[in-house]
Amino acid sequence: MEEIVRNVSGVVTPVLLCALVGYGFALLKLPFDNKIVGSLVSNVGYPTLILSHLTRQHVPLAGFLDMMLAAAAAVACFGLVGLGILTALRLPIRGFLSPMMFNNVGNIGLPVCLLAFGNQGLAYAMAFVVVVLVGTFTIGMWLPMRKVSLHNVLRQPVIYAVILAIVLMATDTRLPATIEHTFGILGGLAVPLMLLTLGHTLATLNIGLLRRSVALTLLHLAMASATAFALTRLFGFEGPARGVFIVECVMPVSVGTYLWIEMYDPEDAPSIASFILVSTLFTVVVLPMVLTFWV
């Protein structure tokens, strides 16, 4: 148990430290342009991250697609239950529903799944990541925008990156080594830039927001646990597939959802930043329990 706690802390702590750097920028009033950062992440960071990860794994396409289907079902459940929770609490759907729907299955979920389940677990986790990223760049964008925009979706490089990655996996084709290495470097931009943006916004927090964020985090965990229990049985997952699905379901709120909220719904951005922070902190306690007693 002690080793699991130490390993999980080793994953979560760098996330918090990166956010702390952004927080320091705000406190010191250093220049920081959220719009430029958001544009870099959505147009360069995430698309190259997808291609650099998926084209290296070469997982069997059938198992990959099964996990994608289960992940889509989980996101749909999160959306329906989250809508009920937010309605009952009288919180704005525009700002809070996408964080309730999409978990941080990438920069926290991927290393945890690799640590706990090896390379096979990492491959399954990437299927979950693809679903969440596509959802983040469609529904996650439409909610704060308050409109469905297929034009905006077609302009998102991440959609084409997913399509290309699946084609490459299906044909067992790798990118040229130079391109793969370049995408690996550019893909490394996404997570740290989003964490810096998150930390920059945390400078506006107050205690009231933190109390509400704790309540939302507990509700999010309860919803995620029930969904994971039901869908692992429905899809008949066993072994690493079952473990990965459960872990990814209980991941904290996605940092990626913050990208669109910061752009299109800035009045809710501090509240969402608080929700993301508290949810991430809870991971240090939740993950060792899940890995020890459930998977």
Angstrom distance (rounded) from CA 263 to CA 251: 24
Mean pLDDT lowest for which of 12-21, 50-59, 190-199?
50-59
Tokens of 294: 């459930």
Instruction: State the total domains in the chain.
Output: 1
Q: What are phi and psi of 253, to 5 degrees?
A: -60, 140
Q: What per-residue confidence (pLDDT) applies to 140? A: 92
Q: Which residues of 136-170 are buried (b: 16+ CB within 10 A; e: fewer)?
A: bbbbbbbbbeeeeeeeeeeebbbbebbebbbebbe
pLDDT at 290 over 60: yes
Q: How far apart are the first and last CA of the chain?
A: 13
CATH code: domain of residue 28: 1.20.1530.20
Q: What is the pLDDT of residues 189-224, one digit of tens each?
A: 887 887 888 788 777 666 567 889 999 999 999 999
Residue 58, pLDDT score: 55
- Whether residue 1 is predicted with pLDDT greater than 60 in this model: the reply is no
Domain range for 33 is 2-293
Percent of the chain at pLDDT > 90 equals 37
CA distance linking residue 42 with residue 184, whole number of Å: 16
| Residue keyed to tokens 């990208």 | 259
Q: Which of 28-32, 36-40, 254-258 has the highest mean pLDDT?
A: 28-32
Confidence of residue 233 (pLDDT cuts 50, 70, 90): very high
Closest listed residue to residue 248, CA positions, set 19, 75, 21, 64: 75
* Tens-digit pLDDT profile for residues 56-111: 765 677 888 999 999 999 999 999 999 999 999 999 999 999 999 999 887 778 77
How much is the pLDDT for 87? 96
| For residues 38-48, average pLDDT | 87
**Stretch 120-141: mean pLDDT, rounded?**
88
Q: Which of 66-70, 160-164, 205-209, 270-274 has the lowest mean pLDDT?
A: 205-209
